[in-house]
A = this chain, B = another copy of it.
Amino acid sequence: MGTKERRERERAAREQRFLQAARTQIREQGLLALQMAPVARACDYATGTLYQHFASKEDLLLALCAEQAAKRVEILLRAGRWEANSRDRMFALVTGDMLFALASPDHFRLTQYVFTEVVWRAASECRRQAVLDAHEPIGALVGGIVHDAISCGDLDARGRAPLELAIGQWSMTIGMHTLVHAEGVLEFFHLHEPYPMLLRHVQLHLNGLGWKPLLDPFDEQRLQEKIDQVCATLYPDLERAGPVTIAGTGD
């Protein structure tokens, strides 16, 4: 009988509705104002029902994070599938991440919050695992690109594992997301256009690794072309207000 199965499906659908409602509430009122009862009410369920899906408020936040992470992964996988040299694919990965961050600022605010000791600890073990699992493909993807680079001679591993070589890019990207969302910090130091700077520094770092073919990221023209190419080829759907421009005056 398909009864059990149908139940299961309905339950999953309801969970989606809850997550959707939470997302809406966060978008409209901010993370700070998220409350459990209104989320349940918005879906025409009692508070208690919500707790059959999520062990706590933090648990719900992790679930939200995992769900959005899946979307992010989907974007990033495009870079992995791209028919281009290894360096361009690695760069495309960071670019995709940047575009996703610009398109979904809420996701990174949430992620930042979720990985905080206080929140992380307050969620259930299995939910934590789900968040990690949701991010796993990114590691595999990055590892794969580095591996390709090494085996085709674009990159000399110097005896290091793929992820050890990629962690510089990774932490730089995460750090920039953090800075962008740390309200007031960049303005305080008179820094603007953080993401274009990230792209430039990623190229610098790739050069430092000796990842061929080298590219001079201070050659505005070349760098801009590269970015435009990646955006147009892989992420035509993610360009919002306008294209990303490297420009900047440096004054």
Using a CB–CB cutoff of 8 Å, the interface residues on chain A facing chain B are: 30-32, 109, 112-113, 115-118, 120-122, 128, 132, 135-136, 139, 157-161, 163-164, 167-168, 170-176, 178-179, 181-185, 188-191, 194, 197-198, 200-201, 203-209, 218, 248, 250-251
Closest to A117 in B: B109
User: Does the CB pair B32–A118 fall under 8 Å?
Assistant: yes
Can you list 28 A-B pairs, Cβ within 8 angstroms, ordered by A?
A32-B121, A109-B117, A112-B116, A113-B118, A116-B116, A117-B181, A117-B183, A120-B182, A132-B185, A135-B185, A157-B250, A160-B218, A161-B251, A163-B190, A164-B191, A168-B197, A170-B175, A171-B175, A171-B198, A171-B201, A172-B172, A173-B175, A175-B178, A203-B208, A205-B205, A205-B208, A208-B208, A208-B209
> Measured between alpha carbons, how far is A80 from B189 in the docked complex, in Å?
18
Min Cβ gap A162→B in Å is 10
Copies of the polypeptide in the assembly: 2
Besides A132-B184, A168-B201, A174-B178, 7 other CB < 8 A contacts?
A31-B117, A115-B182, A117-B183, A135-B185, A135-B188, A171-B176, A175-B176
User: Does the CB pair B113–A183 fall under 8 Å?
Assistant: no
Closest to A161 in B: B250
Closest to A157 in B: B250
Min Cβ gap A11→B in Å is 27
Chain B residues with CB below 8 A from A179, complex form: 167, 170-171, 174
Chain B residues with CB below 8 A from A128, complex form: 184
> Measured between alpha carbons, how far is A159 from B216 in the docked complex, in Å?
14
User: Does the CB pair A113–B115 fall under 8 Å?
Assistant: no
> Measured between alpha carbons, how far is A185 from B114 in the docked complex, in Å?
12
> Measured between alpha carbons, how far is A182 from B120 in the docked complex, in Å?
8
User: Does the CB pair B168–A204 fall under 8 Å?
Assistant: yes
Chain B residues with CB below 8 A from A204, complex form: 168, 205, 208-209
Chain B residues with CB below 8 A from A248, complex form: 160, 164
> Measured between alpha carbons, how far is A178 from B201 in the docked complex, in Å?
19
Min Cβ gap A138→B in Å is 9
Min Cβ gap A72→B in Å is 15
User: Does the CB pair A164–B250 fall under 8 Å?
Assistant: yes
> Measured between alpha carbons, how far is A68 from B158 in the docked complex, in Å?
39
